[in-house]
Amino acid sequence: MDPDRFTQLDDTTWQIPQQGNMRVPGILYADRQLVSDMDDKVWEQLTNVAALPGIVNAAYAMPDAHWGYGFPIGGVAAFDPDQGGVVSAGGVGFDISCGVRTLTTGLSVDALQPHRETLADFLLYRIPAGVGSTGRIRLDDIRMTAMLEGGADWAVRQGYGRREDLERIEEHGRMAGAVPEAVSDRARRRQRDEMGTLGSGNHYLEVQAVSEIYDPEAATAFGLQRDAVVVSIHCGSRGLGHQIGTEFLREMALSAQQYHITLPDRELACAPLTSPLGKRYLGAMRAGINCALANRQILTHLTREVFEHVLPEADPAADL
């Protein structure tokens, strides 16, 4: 993307001035090289987001911005419910609350070395990944509802992990305002056998080594030192989140006209935050967040069990 298309505000701030149907400007944070390497679609998508009702201040894009669905990936926007602000199922996407959890292990690379293959085999055995994999946990409807309300807090109460884990998890492991009743039977059905599974695509569980420390103070605060072994778990709300995204994307795209919303791109399908549809989506989405929090907690617990078996001296503990 040509940086000269933007108004440069400083070394790392670039503005798309308000024009056409934009309600606010677009702001991109990146250096000149990063902007040059970006897809032109970032400009187009940022401009489209800036046209959504009730957007506050600006449509923002972070330095990792790239072509997404409706919104650029790495895009940030806030909406004011009192100004007709919207919530967009397209913007949130299928992977509701996709995120990474990192665990320190107390091990060094040298200590792990002799056990690498055994550890990998046990992790693969214990943590189902990839297409067609199912977990060992089956949730009936009552437990599913409890999970959707309770998130990682529910998982800990079921014996997956330690209560102190919750202190290190976003929202202390439980997103308030979840409405399990807003989650369809189909979304529940899709999740029934998927608790404790990793999924596929870019989702992973990796045993990683700290190779370089950039900020010693922050590293110490997080218990990290060079050559330390950590475990990173990247996944989201699995099939439940995918199905919530699928259903609300369709419903919002079809009802935009009813809410007098002109979509610059159908993928930006959205509804006013204060509308029945917007509220129902927020309730379902928050339940999806709890599903992701619960799943990452279960995966944490399974990871610990494997480490305790293979490397009893390890302690995959603090969430970072």
Partner 1 sequence: MTETALPGAGWEHFQHGADIGIRGFGTTPAEAFARAATALTAVITRPEAVRPLRWIDIDCRAPDLDFLFLDWINALVYAMATEGLLFARFEVAIEGPMLRARLGGEPVDRARHQPAVEVKGATLTALEVRQQDDGHWLAQCVVDV
**Matching residue, tokens 């977990």:** 135
Does position 142 interact with partner 1 (CB under 8 A)? The reply is: no
- DSSP code of 139? -
Does position 288 interact with partner 1 (CB under 8 A)? The reply is: no
Q: Closer to partner 1 at the Cβ: 199 or 316? A: 199
- Applying CB under 8 A, which of residues 48, 105, 145, 243 lies at the interface with partner 1? 243
Least Å distance between CB 1 and partner 1?
15
Does position 3 interact with partner 1 (CB under 8 A)? The reply is: no
Does position 239 interact with partner 1 (CB under 8 A)? The reply is: yes
Least Å distance between CB 254 and partner 1?
7
- Residues of 261-296 as b/e, b for ≥16 C-beta within 10 angstroms? bebbbebbbbbbbebebbbbbbbbbbbbbbbbbbbb
Task: Give the total of residues touching partner 1 (CB under 8 A).
Answer: 33
User: What token pair was written down for 108?
Assistant: 């060094």
Does position 114 interact with partner 1 (CB under 8 A)? The reply is: no
Candidates 99-107, 172-180, 216-224, 264-272 — which segment interacts with partner 1 by CB under 8 A? 264-272
Residues 6+ apart with CB under 8 A from 193: 134, 135, 138
Does position 43 interact with partner 1 (CB under 8 A)? The reply is: no
Instruction: Give residues 78-107 in contact with partner 1 (rule: CB under 8 A).
Output: 90, 93-95
Q: How far apart are CA 320 and CA 300, in angstroms?
A: 12
| Listed residue (46, 1, 4, 53) closest to 25, CA to CA | 46
Bin 161: left if φ > 0, else alpha if -120 < ψ < 50, else beta. left
Q: How far apart are CA 1 and CA 45, in angstroms?
A: 13
Least Å distance between CB 227 and partner 1?
32
Least Å distance between CB 132 and partner 1?
3
Does position 269 interact with partner 1 (CB under 8 A)? The reply is: yes
- Applying CB under 8 A, which of residues 7, 13, 36, 200 lies at the interface with partner 1? 200
Does position 69 interact with partner 1 (CB under 8 A)? The reply is: yes
Does position 130 interact with partner 1 (CB under 8 A)? The reply is: yes
User: What token pair was written down for 66?
Assistant: 């790239």
Residues 6+ apart with CB under 8 A from 39: 1, 66, 67
The angle that helices 116-126 and 276-310 make with each other, rounded to 10 degrees, is 140
Contacts to partner 1 by CB under 8 A: 39, 66-70, 90, 93-95, 130-132, 134, 186, 189-190, 199-202, 239, 242-243, 245-246, 249-250, 253-254, 266-267, 269
